[in-house]
Amino acid sequence: MAGQNGDLQGDVFYPPEDIVKNANARDWEQMQKEAAEDLEGFWEAEAEKYHWFDKWDQVLDDSNPPFYKWFTGGKTNLAYNCLDVHVQNSNRNKLALIWEGENDEQRTFSYYALYRETCKFANILKALGVEKGDRVTLYMGPVPETVMAMLACARIGAIHSVVFAGFSKEALRERVEDSQSKVVITQDAGYRNGSEVPLKQTVDKAIRHVGFVENVLVVQRTGSEVHMEQGRDHWYHELAEMPIASRDCEAEEMDAEDMLYLLYTSGTTGKPKAIVHTTGGYMVGIATTLRYVFDLKPSDRFWCAADPGWVTGHSYIVYGPLLLGATNFMYEGAPTYPYPNRWWKMIEYYGLNILYTAPTAVRGLMKFGRAWPDRHNLSSLRLLGSVGEPINPEAWKWYHEVIGYEQCPIMDTWWQTETGGFMITPVPSMPLKPGSATKPFFGVEADVVNDDGESVDPDEEGYLVIKKPWPGMLRTLYKDEERFKETYWSKFEDQGWYLAGDSAKKDEDGYFWVIGRIDDVLNVAGHRLGTAEVESALVSHDAVAEAAVIGVPDDVKGNAIHAYVILTVGYEGTEDLTDELVEHVADELGPIAKPANVEAVDSLPKTRSGKIMRRVLRAKAMGEEVGDLSTMAD
Ligand code: PRX
How many CA atoms does the CB half-sphere of 622 hold within 13 Å?
A: 17
Ranges in the chain, pLDDT < 70: 1-6, 609, 631, 633-634
How many CA atoms does the CB half-sphere of 92 hold within 13 Å?
A: 4
> Which three-class secondary structure state does DSSP give residue 528?
strand
If you measure from the C-alpha of residue 514 to the centroid of ligand 1, how many angstroms do you get, rounded to a whole number? Answer: 9
Alpha carbons 615 and 608: distance in angstroms, whole number: 15
Q: Which of 289, 311, 414, 466 to mutate to test the pocket of ligand 1 (most atoms within 8 A of CB)?
A: 414
pLDDT of residue 332: 98
If you measure from the C-alpha of residue 362 to the centroid of ligand 1, how many angstroms do you get, rounded to a whole number? Answer: 16
**CA nearest ligand 1 atom 5, residue:** 416
Atom of ligand 1 at shortest range from CA of 521: 1
- Please check whether residue 284 is in contact with residue 471, taking contact to mean a CB–CB distance below 8 angstroms: yes
- Please check whether residue 147 is in contact with residue 569, taking contact to mean a CB–CB distance below 8 angstroms: no
Concatenated DSSP letters of 568-610: PTT----HHHHHHHHHHHHHHH-GGG--SEEEE-S---BBTTS
The per-residue b/e assignment along 488-513, b for 16 or more CB within 10 angstroms, e otherwise, is: bbebbeeeebbbbbbbbbbeebebbb
If you measure from the C-alpha of residue 466 to the centroid of ligand 1, how many angstroms do you get, rounded to a whole number? Answer: 15
Q: Is the dihedral of CA 320, 323, 326, 327 positive or negative?
A: positive
If you measure from the C-alpha of residue 72 to the centroid of ligand 1, how many angstroms do you get, rounded to a whole number? Answer: 29
Alpha carbons 140 and 597: distance in angstroms, whole number: 29
Burial of 51 (C-beta count, 10 Å sphere; 0-12/13-18/19+): middle
Angle, CA 283 vertex, CA 278 and CA 289 arms, to 5°: 125
Angle of helix 39-47 versus helix 280-293 axis, rounded to 10 = 90
- Please check whether residue 426 is in contact with residue 432, taking contact to mean a CB–CB distance below 8 angstroms: yes
**CA nearest ligand 1 atom 6, residue:** 416
Angle of helix 531-539 versus helix 575-589 axis, rounded to 10 = 120
The per-residue b/e assignment along 313-349, b for 16 or more CB within 10 angstroms, e otherwise, is: bbbbbbbbbbbbbbbbbbbbbbbbbeebbbbbebbbe
Alpha carbons 83 and 80: distance in angstroms, whole number: 5
| Among candidate residues 479, 489, 482, 80, the one with its CA nearest the CA of residue 259 | 479
Which amino acids bring their CB within 6 angstroms of ligand 1?
265, 311-312, 387-390, 412-417, 437, 500-502, 514, 516-517, 523, 528
Cα 248–chain centre separation: 31
Q: Which helix (H) or strand (E) holds 109?
A: strand 106-110
- Please check whether residue 567 is in contact with residue 600, taking contact to mean a CB–CB distance below 8 angstroms: yes
Q: Is the dihedral of CA 144, 146, 149, 150 positive or negative?
A: negative
Tens digits of residue pLDDT in 513-551: 999 888 888 999 888 888 888 998 998 999 998 899 999
If you measure from the C-alpha of residue 495 to the centroid of ligand 1, how many angstroms do you get, rounded to a whole number? Answer: 24
How far is the CA of 118 from the CAs of 124, 228, 321, 507, 615, in angstroms? 10, 24, 16, 47, 49
Radius of gyration of the chain measured on its C-alpha atoms: 24
The structure's pTM equals 0.93
Alpha carbons 101 and 527: distance in angstroms, whole number: 23
Q: Are strands 410-413 and 354-357 parallel, antiparallel or unpaired?
A: unpaired
Residue 66 preceded by cis peptide, ω within 30: yes
Q: Which of 439, 502, 506, 517 to mutate to test the pocket of ligand 1 (most atoms within 8 A of CB)?
A: 502
Q: Which of 310, 360, 399, 416 to mutate to test the pocket of ligand 1 (most atoms within 8 A of CB)?
A: 416
The per-residue b/e assignment along 191-204, b for 16 or more CB within 10 angstroms, e otherwise, is: bbeeeebbbbbbbb
Alpha carbons 96 and 317: distance in angstroms, whole number: 11
If you measure from the C-alpha of residue 497 to the centroid of ligand 1, how many angstroms do you get, rounded to a whole number? Answer: 19
pLDDT of residue 519: 82
Dihedral class, residue 195 (left if φ above 0, else alpha if ψ from -120 to 50, else beta):
beta
Alpha carbons 138 and 187: distance in angstroms, whole number: 9
Atom of ligand 1 at shortest range from CA of 528: 10
DSSP bridge pairs for 462? 504
Alpha carbons 32 and 10: distance in angstroms, whole number: 23
Cα 633–chain centre separation: 39
If you measure from the C-alpha of residue 63 to the centroid of ligand 1, how many angstroms do you get, rounded to a whole number? Answer: 29
List % helix, strand, coil for the chain (3-state, nearest 5).
30, 25, 45
- Please check whether residue 497 is in contact with residue 466, taking contact to mean a CB–CB distance below 8 angstroms: yes
Alpha carbons 20 and 264: distance in angstroms, whole number: 38
If you measure from the C-alpha of residue 615 to the centroid of ligand 1, how many angstroms do you get, rounded to a whole number? Answer: 21
pLDDT of residue 6: 61
- Please check whether residue 393 is in contact with residue 477, taking contact to mean a CB–CB distance below 8 angstroms: no
